[in-house]
C-alpha cells in the first residue's frame, strides 16, 4: 500500500482539495454545480457564502495537513462522521435532497480514512 495512503495528514490535504473545488464551484458556478445534484432552487447569497466558507475551511485543512496537526486531524474525524447523520436528518425533514446524503458519505469516508491512519500513529 502506498505510504501516502497511510498518512492521516495526506488525507487532510486531499480533503482540502475536494473542499476547495466544491467551494469554488458554489462561489463562482453554483448554477452549473447545483443541478448536478438535482438542486433546482434559486441561487441566493447563502449559496455564495457557503462557497466562500468552504474555500476558507479548505485552507485550514491544507495547512493542518501540511503542518501535521494531530489535534486538528482528530477533530475532523468527528465532524466528518457527523455529516451523514446531519444530512439524513435534513433529508428526512424535507430540507435537503437525497443526493446530499451521497456527498456526506464522501465526507464520512474521508473521516474514516483519517481515523484509521491516526489510530496507527499512536
Q: What is the pLDDT of residue 1?
A: 57
pTM: 0.88
Total domain count, the chain? 1
Q: Phi and psi dihedrals of 113, rounded to 5? A: -60, -50
3-class DSSP assignment, residue 27:
helix
Domain of 37, in residue numbers: 3-121
- Flag residues of the chain having pLDDT under 70: 1
Helix pair angle (45-66, 8-28), 10° resolution: 160
Q: Please state, rounded to an integer, the average pLDDT across all residues of the chain.
A: 94
Question: Residue 121: what pLDDT?
Answer: 85
What percentage of the chain exceeds 90 in pLDDT?
80
Contact 73, 64 (CB under 8 A): yes
Helical spans, DSSP H, in 7-98: 8-28, 30-36, 45-66, 70-92
Radius of gyration of the chain (CA): 15
Amino acid at each position: 500500500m502506498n505510504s501516502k495512503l497511510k498518512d492521516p495528514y495526506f488525507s487532510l490535504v486531499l480533503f482540502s482539495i475536494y473542499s476547495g473545488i466544491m467551494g469554488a464551484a458554489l462561489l463562482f458556478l453554483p448554477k452549473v454545480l447545483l443541478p448536478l445534484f438535482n438542486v433546482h432552487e434559486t441561487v441566493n447569497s447563502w449559496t455564495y457564502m457557503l462557497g466562500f466558507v468552504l474555500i476558507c475551511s479548505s485552507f485550514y485543512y491544507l495547512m493542518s495537513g501540511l503542518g501535521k496537526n494531530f489535534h486538528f486531524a482528530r477533530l475532523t474525524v468527528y465532524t466528518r462522521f457527523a455529516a451523514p447523520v446531519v444530512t439524513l436528518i435534513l433529508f428526512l425533514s424535507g430540507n435537503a435532497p437525497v443526493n446530499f446524503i451521497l456527498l456526506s458519505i464522501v465526507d464520512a469516508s474521508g473521516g474514516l480514512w483519517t481515523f484509521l491512519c491516526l489510530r496507527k500513529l499512536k
